[in-house]
Chains A and B, each alone.
Chain A
Amino acid sequence: MANLEKHSYDVVVIGAGGAGLRAAVEAREAGLSVAIVCKSLFGKAHTVMAEGGAAASMGNVNDNDNWMVHFRDTMRGGKFLNHYRMAELHAKEAPDRIWELEMWGALFDRTGEGKISQRNFGGHEYPRLAHVGDRTGLELIRTMQQRIVALQQQDKAEFGDAEKNLKVFAEVTITEILKENGKIAGAYGYRRETGGEILFEAPAVVIATGGVGKTFKITSNSWEGTGDGHALALKAGANLVDMEFLQFHPTGMVWPLSVKGILVTESVRGEGGILTNSLGERFMFKYIPDVFKDKYADNEEEADRWYLDQDNNRRPPELLPRDEVARAINSEVKAGRGTEHGGVFLDVSKRIPADVIKKRLPSMWHQFYELAGVDITKEAMEVGPTCHYVMGGVEVEPDTAAAVGVDGLFAAGEVAGGMHGSNRLGGNSLTDLLVFGRRAGMGAVAYVKSHGKNPVSDASIVNAAAKIEAPFSRTGGENAYSLHQELQEITHNLVGIIRTGAELQEAIEKIADIRKRSANISVTGDRKFNPGFHLAFDLDNMLLVAESTAKSAIAREESRGGHTRDDFPGMNSTWRQVNHISSFDGNKVDVKPQPLPMIPKELFDLFDVHELEKYMTPAEIAKGGSN
């Protein structure tokens, strides 16, 4: 490997979305050298797609809000399967992370007093989402991108080299995380543009690769959401936690086919949009679960009054957590009350004047007008569930974001598990990225300072290089595009929004079959910017993710959040005490149960005990939390 491109850094961050960039900023500001590696161009990460806002209890709109209310909402939304410590850190630190963005140049929408404005969202008791119209993710990614540039400009001024301590390696795919002596030593991959291989030596690696949506047929995710970090972590010896929990966002576009799955922001409902079926019924009133009965209005009059007086009325049921709304839409369509194209109607045109819609939901107006020929200021949208977010992910230590079981490995953002339990609230992901991106950066800094370099061996390089060359050495083998389509059909039909044991078993067998055939993928053309070659590696990651999801899903015999079993319809408080841990032995994914960390007394006491009785066993209630 005489011509191998080699780099040496203190920290390598894989992924340049919100979490990766925040981690990189933290490590760089602590004086470490940092490489940011991403599959796309800098600034294109999937964070850009986040629309509604970033949840932080700043209390700018309703001063009753504080971290404890936010913590409670997050735990409720996750059906109490969240890692309590992650939910606590997130709720406490989110406001500081938003204010910090403002200091880096972000321009959020304002309140009348000139503070950062906050909007309502599903599952959040008070208006809590800092936002910029419906393009909050763009503001976040651009602010972080510009913060990176600002740091590079400082290095340019000081050392004459902008990339001395912080460099972005765009359009590079990492195929393997390297370990030596049981600890992280670096990462190996290829440049997408040239196909040339690239080695990063670094004692700490932060995985911030986002989600897995491309494993599914109908998804709001971009091509990058192929579960790379989940698979890299598994292969490096880390665990994934609770991979059965996938969030199907209730409102994706359903028509035309070409745009099926593209996200329709929850802000449409936050701003007053209502859901109706083909009979014109506002059906969400029928789907308020017992655990939420005292928080949500059961009649139209009260729901409508809530928009004017939130202190004396319950919330409209359109603003239930996402899992509830997605299941309700699914049920309506299955019962034959769907629209012509298999969705339901979402209408904001009768509630808000046209000019206000265009101001508050500009990209939604644009998206429907350009792609579906629908003017949302005049007519209803057709919407249905789309695979949006994976709650499961790398098992981490909450305070440091360190991956359990692998020294030197860290994970933050969507790729990390635990924070959101069985269902994520809208708006919590953008602040999750910032809170835990920063913590992963801090964790990596502390680790590097106490451990130092860990050189990569020649044997590891030869081994990683051989895997990249493999698909070129075969001819007439399987086509990666076809296998990907087959996988998407299987996950969509058998591991989707409603699951059964028999279908999951079938999925596990079929995924194993594709995995076997994928070992024989061959690639046409050369290494230069060759999407067929790129997909071969992405597919391998998606297959591991799908296996982990299906095996976790068949093991969990209850329905909770983003996991609904037709054969086990209820929520079961014994199952609430169980996390599913996926590990990989080099051949197959193994899933085993592990006790969920018990919530400490001071957090237990934040809840009304009668509410906790709906989720916890009598023994847990009697104990009243740990300590």
Chain B
Amino acid sequence: MARTLKLRIWRGDDKTGALQDVTVEANHGEVVLDIIHRVQATQMGDLAVRWNCKAGKCGSCSMEINGKPRLACMTQVASYPEDETITITPLRAFPVIKDLVTDVSFNYKKAMEIPSVSMPADLKPGEPRMQQIDVERSQEFRKCIECFLCQDTCHVIRDHEENKKSFAGPRFFIRIAELDMHPLDTLRNRKKSAQEEHGLGMCNITKCCTEVCPEHIRITDNAIIPMKERVVDEKYDPLRWLGSKIRKREGIL
């Protein structure tokens, strides 16, 4: 049942680092995170890795396994051929702190830039009535466990540090979509701000984010594309454009 596994684990910090070869035992049913823990307990006591729940619910153990952004706790060792060396590296889109741990503070800064839910002023606790079908659209996006794999894989920022300033990334496009579709939210112009302030236009819908999402959220189809379409409707419909100009002048909009 047990097999001997060959790993290459990236070790280092923000300045230097290299892949190190390790050989370790693996048992039936184990996931990559189990193996990393075994390496930690027996060979590299100071190997840095983030993890929490080990059940795919917290989104802490994000890393790249054979170059693919994945949760280590949900990646079965058995999904790789017996003789394959598994290469484990930190998320590439974020600065390395140490070994497999990266500085993901970019994401917390972006979270701060998106206006929070804005409830009707006269709504009292216990009063809201919403239909299941109306909450389900936002609920899909609220399944997000903030593993940031979608951020890591998105080619707008993956190798383009310079885009980070003006691009919030897929995680925050679904946050904006969630609020935009929230039955009680009163804030207007969320789609417009996605386009103008958070870089929605830079996304060219290659769906890489959807592919890596461990929660199977249809980021591109259900959040990004609908927002893009509506932004286009509002922006390029000549009548709307004219209307908005006239009304703006009168101070109505």
Which B residues are in CB contact (< 8 Å) with A379? Answer: none
**Residues of chain B with a CB closer than 8 A to A224's CB:** 52
Check if B60 sits within 8 Å of A262, measured CB to CB: no
Q: A42-B108, A103-B125, A524-B46 are in contact. Are A371 and B74 (CB under 8 A)?
A: yes
B185 → A minimal CB distance (Å): 8
Q: Hey, which chain B residues are within 8 Å of A222, CB to CB?
A: 51-54, 58
Min Cβ gap B101→A in Å is 5
Contact string, A473-515, partner B, CB cutoff 8 A, digits 1/0? 0000001011001000000000000000000000000000000
| Cα-based distance from A156 to B111 in the complex (angstroms) | 13
Stretch of B128-136, B158-166, B193-201 contacting A (4+ beta carbons < 8 Å): B128-136
Q: Once the chains are docked, how many angstroms separate the CA of A546 from the CA of B135? A: 44
B23 close to A (CB within 8 Å): no
Note all chain A residues with C-beta closer than 8 A to B191: none
Comparing A43-51, A231-239, A388-396, A574-582, the segment that makes contact with chain B is A43-51
Chain B nearest CB, measured from A75 CB (Å):
26
Q: Which of A42, A107, A255, A257 has the most CB of B within 10 A?
A: A107
Contacts of A58 in B (CB 8 A): 126
| B253 beta carbon closer than 8 Å to chain A | no
Neighbouring A residues of B111 by C-beta, 8 Å: 149
- Is residue B5 contacting chain A, with contact meaning CB distance below 8 A? no
**A6 → B minimal CB distance (Å):** 21
Of all chain A residues, the one with the shortest Cβ separation from B75 is A370
Q: Tell me whether A533 and B27 are in contact in the complex, defined as CB-CB below 8 angstroms, given that A103-B125, A107-B138, A110-B135 are known contacts.
A: no
Could you tell me the distance between the alpha carbons of A525 and B144 in the complex, rounded to whole angstroms? Answer: 35
In the complex the two chains form, is B60's CB within 8 Å of A41's CB? yes
| CB <8 Å contact, A139 and B46 | no
Give the total of B residues in contact with A, Cβ under 8 Å.
58
Give chain B nearest CB distance to A101 CB in angstroms: 9
- Report Cα–Cα, A524/B146, bound state, in Å: 32
With contacts A44-B52, A132-B142, A479-B45 taken as known, whether A99 is within 8 angstroms of B28 at the C-beta atoms is: no
CB distance from A374 to the nearest CB of B (A): 11
Interface flag for B139 (CB, 8 Å)? yes
- Inside 8 A of A566's CB, which chain B residues have their CB? none
Q: Assuming the A-B contacts A132-B139, A258-B27, A258-B30, are A526 and B46 also in contact, with contact meaning beta carbons closer than 8 angstroms in the complex? A: yes
- In the assembled complex, A520 has its CB within 8 A of some CB on chain B: no
Q: Which residues of B contact A62 (CB under 8 A)?
A: none
Instruction: Confirm or deny: A104 has a beta carbon within 8 angstroms of a beta carbon on chain B.
Output: yes
B40 and A531 contacting across the interface, CB-CB below 8 Å: yes
* Shortest CB distance B63–A (Å): 14
Segment at the interface with A among B113-121, B223-231, B238-246: B113-121
CB of B69 within 8 A of chain A? no
Cα separation A146 to B49 with both chains bound (whole Å): 26
B57 touches A363 (CB 8 A): yes
Q: CB-CB < 8 A to A44: which residues of B?
A: 52-53, 58-60, 146
**Contact residues in A for B131 (Cβ distance below 8 Å):** 110, 114
Contact B123 A525 (CB under 8 A): no
Query: What is the CB-to-nearest-CB distance from A357 to chain B, in angstroms, rounded to a whole number?
Result: 16
Chain A proximity of B197: nearest CB distance (Å): 14
Q: How far is the CA of A137 from the CA of B74 in the complex (A)?
A: 19
Which chain B residues numbered 140 to 164 have a C-beta less than 8 Å away from chain A? 142-146
Q: Does A528 contact B (CB under 8 A)?
A: yes
Contact of A524 with B130 in the complex, beta carbons under 8 Å:
no
Interface string of B21-52 (1 = CB under 8 A from A): 00000011111001000001100011111111
Contact A256 B50 (CB under 8 A): no
- Contact call B99/A529, Cβ cutoff below 8 A: yes
Counting CB contacts under 8 A, is B19 at the interface?
Answer: no
A152 within 8 Å of B by Cβ?
yes
Residues of A within 8 A of B13 (CB): 528
Contact among B48, B101, B112 for A153, CB-based, below 8 A: B112
Check if A257 sits within 8 Å of B29, measured CB to CB.
yes
User: Is A142 interfacial (CB-CB < 8 Å)?
Assistant: yes
Query: Does A158 belong to the interface (CB within 8 Å)?
Result: no
Chain B contacts for A255, CB-based, 8 A: 29
User: Closest CB-CB distance, B4 to chain A, in whole Å?
Assistant: 17
> Shortest beta-carbon distance, A302 to chain B, in Å?
30
A107 touches B182 (CB 8 A): yes
Q: Are A366 and B58 in contact (CB under 8 A)?
A: no
Q: Nearest-CB distance from A209 to chain B (Å)?
A: 14
- Additional 5 contacts, C-beta under 8 A, given A46-B52, A49-B55, A481-B41: A96-B125, A138-B57, A259-B55, A371-B29, A371-B56
* 28 pairs of residues in contact across A and B, judged by CB atoms under 8 Å: A40-B50, A42-B108, A44-B53, A44-B146, A46-B52, A58-B126, A105-B119, A105-B185, A109-B135, A147-B116, A149-B112, A150-B117, A153-B116, A162-B112, A222-B51, A222-B52, A224-B52, A256-B28, A256-B29, A372-B29, A481-B40, A482-B41, A525-B46, A529-B99, A530-B45, A530-B48, A531-B49, A532-B45
Those 9 A-B pairs whose CB atoms lie nearest each other, nearest first:
A256-B29, A525-B46, A114-B129, A150-B116, A105-B117, A99-B125, A532-B45, A529-B48, A481-B41
